[in-house]
Chains A and B, each alone.
Chain A
Amino acid sequence: MSAVFQVENLNKAFGGLAVTQNISITMNPGDRVALIGPNGAGKTTFVNLVTGHLEPDSGKVVLAGNDVTALGPVPRVRQGLVRSFQVTRLFPDMTPEEHLALAVMQRTGRTGAIFGHYQAKADVMAEVAELLRTLGLDHIATRKVAEIAYGQQRLLEIALALALKPKVLLLDEPAAGVPQSDTPRIEVALAGLPADLAVLMIEHDMDLVFRFAKRVIVLAAGAVIFDGSPGDVTRDARVREAYLGSYANDRSAA
């Protein structure tokens, strides 16, 4: 199977602080990868670098065989590299329905139209309804985002990424800020993702990580210190020391 996403020797420093050190990661279609690491390890920076929101000092990003290192964020999204944000980025004055309709129309090349209304487009409305249902947002579909709960905004953030039908999906802590009662929705949404989509999820909730990931990458101080199966990660001495600590002990004890 040929790789859909390759990152080679990525480096980035802010002033003297090296936040990304020689990171190389390859993902294949259908991969379910969790990227974990302590606060400040450089996880979000990694996402910013590969999506073109930040410029790397050196290194290469290849998407479905195309070198996209020199491209800005917009063409990368159009080629199927989609991210979500750790801190929700939404339009406060728009409704969830409008958000998703905009994303669907953008994906299908219809946001240039200066006439017409999204509610008159049956295919858009059907897809939006489906996304709203999946993430349990249908009952607040026509409220302004500024008026809905943060947990619901987090779910909308995920729905927006899904609406773009990516090839590679990078989720930055999708469950952070979502109340415990709503995390099953995220898991349902994740479980329902297309089988050939490559997903990388940053997450601190280790239960979620272990249920979701077939592969775990651990980042510490900007460098990859582990890349392997979820079963091995809890046994890795360096990972225990750097991050997992108590969780790994609990697990082995249980």
Chain B
Amino acid sequence: MASIENISASTPARSTRPNWLVRDLVGLAVILVVAAIGYFLFPNNLALLTRILGVALLVLSIDLVTGFCGIATLGHAALFGAGAYASGIAAVHFGITDPLLMVVVGAVGGAVAGVVSGAVILRGHGLAQLVLSIAVVHLFHEAANKASAYTGGSDGLSGITPDPVFGIFAFDLWGRTAYGFAVALVVITFIVLRLITRSPFGMLCRGIKEDPIRIRAMGASVQGTLLKMYVISGAVAGTGGALNAISTQVVGLDSLSFTLSAEALVMLVLGGTGSLYGALIGTVSFMWFEDFVSAANPFHWLTIVGALLIAVVLFAPRGLYGTGLSFVERFRGNAK
């Protein structure tokens, strides 16, 4: 007994808790500064920046299930497209043209799609799960194609004319309002997701990713937790879809495609999974690079993008953010 007391007395508890609030505020400030720089640097390209932010929401939503829960999916555009169509249909066929309401409808649409596809995908593991996710996005795509009375089929759903935001800021030709709206949505979503991933529920999800058997032995339901995360992820993806519908004023079948699903996953891996920052960095760098290279070299841009991806996966397997972070940590370690 005496020896035990000595051990604990001689090594007092460390009080070096990571100050995550400060770190997140810095992160948030960086996001806002980058958004402002984008606005002033590319005033003629705000449409692209807005599209990047819409896709960023999709990539964030994939990070929730893949990065935080370890679910493999190549069908996440199903949730993005469901949100886009939900808000587009609400605007065109039901006269819901308030942009905030359209976002809510999109989020709900994405969440419902999350329940449906989660219920299917979570029945499999590993490769089977991946195949199920692909099947789901194809089924969603086909359903949207068939229901052309509502979705416009392969012609796309057009005629979406959102009202001014708060009745004040009309969506202008230069896309300034759309860009501001997009930045606001991404920032709010980011803050909410930051809180969710740190919550007890978020911890449970991380635990499931690392060892589902241990989680069960703690008395927590694995499937129920994952489905809940799928619903949250669906709401985020749906918000991205709604943003896309509002800013481009059309919804096409490509928003529900396997291609978009796969590209979004690539962006996540490029940026780094499991951190939210990685999702944002991956989306911005991939889409910016794609745009830049396709303009600079219209013939070989896909080759260049492919080569870049191989380089990142081979030499920075933790993604741009993860690799950058470990550099910083090593630098700090050396400095000590």
- The answer to whether B201 touches A112 (Cβ under 8 A) is yes
- The answer to whether B220 touches A106 (Cβ under 8 A) is yes
Partner of A110, one of B14, B200, B232: B200
Residues in B neighbouring A102, C-beta threshold 8 A:
200, 203-204, 207, 218
Residues in A neighbouring B203, C-beta threshold 8 A:
94, 98, 101-102, 111, 118
Scoring A101, A111, A139 by chain B CB atoms within 10 A of each residue's CB, the highest score goes to A111
B10 to chain A, nearest CB (A): 9
**Residue A214 at the B interface, CB < 8 A?**
no
- The answer to whether B199 touches A113 (Cβ under 8 A) is yes
Residues in B neighbouring A117, C-beta threshold 8 A:
198-199
CA distance A73 to B222 in the complex (A): 11
- The answer to whether A91 touches B200 (Cβ under 8 A) is no
Q: Do A184 and B3 contact each other (CB < 8 Å), given the known contacts A102-B218, A103-B218? A: yes
Scoring B7, B207, B213, B225 by chain A CB atoms within 10 A of each residue's CB, the highest score goes to B207
Residues in A neighbouring B207, C-beta threshold 8 A:
91, 94, 102
- The answer to whether B11 touches A139 (Cβ under 8 A) is yes
CA distance A51 to B213 in the complex (A): 12
**Residue A53 at the B interface, CB < 8 A?**
yes
**Residue A248 at the B interface, CB < 8 A?**
no
Partner of A114, one of B3, B201, B217: B201
CA distance A139 to B8 in the complex (A): 7
**Residue A77 at the B interface, CB < 8 A?**
yes
The size of the chain A interface, using a CB distance under 8 A, is: 45
Residues in A neighbouring B221, C-beta threshold 8 A:
74
Scoring A74, A82, A107, A136 by chain B CB atoms within 10 A of each residue's CB, the highest score goes to A74
Partner of A184, one of B1, B202, B210: B1
Partner of A111, one of B7, B200, B216: B200
- The answer to whether B206 touches A93 (Cβ under 8 A) is yes
Tell me the chain A residues, 61-115 only, with Cβ under 8 Å from chain B. Answer: 72-74, 77-78, 82-83, 85, 89-94, 98, 101-103, 105-107, 110-115
**Residue A227 at the B interface, CB < 8 A?**
no
Residues in B neighbouring A111, C-beta threshold 8 A:
200-201, 203-204, 220, 225
B2 to chain A, nearest CB (A): 10
Instruction: Give the nearest-CB partner of B12 in chain A.
Output: A139
- The answer to whether A105 touches B1 (Cβ under 8 A) is no
- Binary A-proximity of B9-36 (CB < 8 A = 1, otherwise 0): 0011110110000000000000000000
Q: Do A114 and B199 contact each other (CB < 8 Å), given the known contacts A83-B217, A91-B206? A: yes
**Residue B195 at the A interface, CB < 8 A?**
yes
Residues in A neighbouring B220, C-beta threshold 8 A:
74, 106, 111
Residues in B neighbouring A92, C-beta threshold 8 A:
210
Partner of A91, one of B4, B14, B214, B216: B214
Residues in B neighbouring A101, C-beta threshold 8 A:
203
- The answer to whether B14 touches A114 (Cβ under 8 A) is no
CA distance A98 to B17 in the complex (A): 12
Residues in A neighbouring B195, C-beta threshold 8 A:
114-115
Scoring B196, B217, B220, B232 by chain A CB atoms within 10 A of each residue's CB, the highest score goes to B217
CA distance A6 to B196 in the complex (A): 41
- The answer to whether B8 touches A90 (Cβ under 8 A) is no
- The answer to whether B1 touches A118 (Cβ under 8 A) is no
The 9 closest A-B pairs by CB, nearest first: A77-B219, A139-B11, A91-B210, A89-B214, A111-B200, A114-B201, A111-B204, A78-B219, A138-B13
Task: Supply 20 further A-B pairs (C-beta < 8 A) apart from A103-B218, A112-B200.
Answer: A74-B216, A78-B219, A82-B219, A89-B211, A90-B211, A94-B210, A102-B200, A102-B204, A102-B207, A106-B220, A111-B201, A113-B199, A113-B201, A114-B195, A114-B201, A118-B200, A139-B8, A139-B14, A164-B218, A188-B1
10 residue pairs of the A-B complex, CB under 8 angstroms, read: A74-B216, A101-B203, A110-B200, A111-B220, A114-B201, A114-B202, A136-B4, A136-B7, A139-B8, A184-B1
B interface residues with partner A (beta carbon < 8 Å):
1, 3-4, 7-8, 11-14, 16-17, 195-196, 198-204, 206-207, 210-211, 213-214, 216-221, 225, 228, 232
A interface residues with partner B (beta carbon < 8 Å):
51, 53, 72-74, 77-78, 82-83, 85, 89-94, 98, 101-103, 105-107, 110-119, 133, 136, 138-139, 141-142, 160, 164, 181, 184-185, 188
